[in-house]
Amino acid sequence: MVDKTLVVITKGIPFESGGAAAIIRNLFANVNNKTEVCLLGRRAEYFPSNFVIPYDCFEIPLSNQKDNFLKKTVLFSRSLWIGIKVIKAKKKSVKILGIYRDESSLVLSYTLSLLTRLPLNIYLTDLYAEQYTRFLPKVLQRVIFRKAQNIFCLTEGMREEYARLYCLKTKLLPHTISGLNNCYRKENQRLKDEFIIGYAGTIIPERIDLLRELIRIVGENVNYRLKLFTPHDSFFLESNGLYNDSVNNEYIKNQVTLISKLHECDLLYLPLTFTSSKDDLQLKTCLGTKSFDYLQSGSEILVHSPKDYLTYTFFEKNNIGFLLDSNEKGDLAGKLDCLSREIRAAEFLSSDYSDVLKNHVGVKVYDDMIQSIFDE
């Protein structure tokens, strides 16, 4: 008989696109019969008919940042009431896990913990108060951190930053994959007539300049083709200068299909901005979920990023992929030309990513998390 229940509060519902949803989807795909999981989140805009959920889901009306104070209060109260009802229905050991990619999930999980006197655990998939200039998040962060039994961080870069800023001890809970058997590896890769470059994921403003330059290069070279796998429509791409006759865009919701499509590419492009922004600290500590889609595909990867960002150092320390830490005019074109010639000149054996990915296999990561939450 299952005698443990984990109540999870998150806005990033697992069935949708985006990094936060992918993190939660992949982690909780490993739920087993030792622990019951009840996930409280917003309504999914996309729900695949063949998606099997090994846990219970409860819809809560979390507010958006643009909502006024009265609406936020009403929605928060309704969410709190639903959470209390779910918890009271359980006749076993219950603990709470609040997942941050939005403030309301953290505050709701903290309030539920206060009212029910249940242990609180926090999972940070991004830096929290460090991204805001407002005073309130900084106060909330101190209060919530003081209450938390465990604080999990998505990356080692985040753990180091919290230790540096607050002398805070956190635990690593990395992005997960379903298993090494679902990963590709290319043997003796040869370049065909065209050099196929791939890019997957949402195009955030900080990546537009670099992608625009890539698309210009692709448009000027008759042997280059760019395959975008993004949720954006043609109007967004064209209005941002991200489309020409050498570019194809396709949105693939199924992750298995997406990874197989990435496997068909000769090179995958992973850019991070060189332009200073308010999210500079966040970019220095994050490792995008697309990194793991890329690694599972077995294709070669070009990381185009400042060298002090975690994405760059992750690939550098693991001796995988190709690295470009310059944004000077002509450097990207030169790097692509060099790589295409190198692959075309001789048989090319892709890197073996299994040693890196074995630390992200979902079953072990999930079991370690459950042990930390319930055995302390």
- Are 165 and 298 part of one and the same domain? no
- Are 138 and 195 part of one and the same domain? no
By percentage, how much of the chain surpasses pLDDT 90?
A: 57
CA separation for the pair 22, 176 (Å, rounded)? 9
Q: Which amino acid is at 44?
A: A
- Are 28 and 163 part of one and the same domain? yes
Amino acid 18: pLDDT: 66
CA separation for the pair 227, 246 (Å, rounded)? 9
- CATH (domain of 279): 3.40.50.2000
Amino acid 45: pLDDT: 62
Q: Which residues pair with 151 in a beta bridge?
A: 122
Q: Which amino acid is at 184?
A: Y
- Are 161 and 290 part of one and the same domain? no
User: With the C-alpha atoms ordered 21, 23, 26, 28, is the resulting torsion angle positive or negative?
Assistant: negative
- Are 240 and 158 part of one and the same domain? no
- Are 205 and 127 part of one and the same domain? no
- Are 49 and 69 part of one and the same domain? yes
- The tokens describing 340, both together, are 């295409």
- The tokens describing 9, both together, are 């509060």
Asked if 7 and 116 count as a contact pair (C-beta separation under 8 A), the reply is: no
Q: Which residues contact 338 (CB under 8 A, 6 or more apart)?
A: none
Start-to-end CA distance of the chain, whole Å, equals: 21
Range of the domain at 82: 4-176+361-374
The secondary structure of residue 330, as a DSSP letter, is: T
Amino acid 67: pLDDT: 77
Tell how many helices (H) and how many strands (E) occur in the chain: 14, 13
CA separation for the pair 70, 96 (Å, rounded)? 26
Asked if 279 and 128 count as a contact pair (C-beta separation under 8 A), the reply is: no
- Are 26 and 137 part of one and the same domain? yes
Amino acid 110: pLDDT: 95
Amino acid 62: pLDDT: 78
- Are 200 and 168 part of one and the same domain? no
Strand order in the sheet with 247-249: 247-249, 224-229, 195-200, 267-271, 300-304, 322-324
- Are 185 and 168 part of one and the same domain? no
* Element of type H or E holding 267: strand 267-271
The 10s digit of each residue's pLDDT in 130-161 is 777 778 888 888 999 999 999 999 999 999 99
- Are 217 and 330 part of one and the same domain? yes
- Are 188 and 203 part of one and the same domain? yes
The DSSP line for 29-95 is TT--TTSEEEEEEPPPS---TT---SSEEEE--PPPTTS-HHHHHHHHHHHHHHHHHHHHT--SEEE
In the chain, which residues have pLDDT < 50?
Answer: none
Counted domains in the chain: 2
In which residue are the tokens 């890769």 written? 189
- The tokens describing 341, both together, are 């010639």
The 10s digit of each residue's pLDDT in 226-273 is 999 999 999 999 999 999 999 999 998 888 899 999 999 999 999 998
CA separation for the pair 334, 11 (Å, rounded)? 42
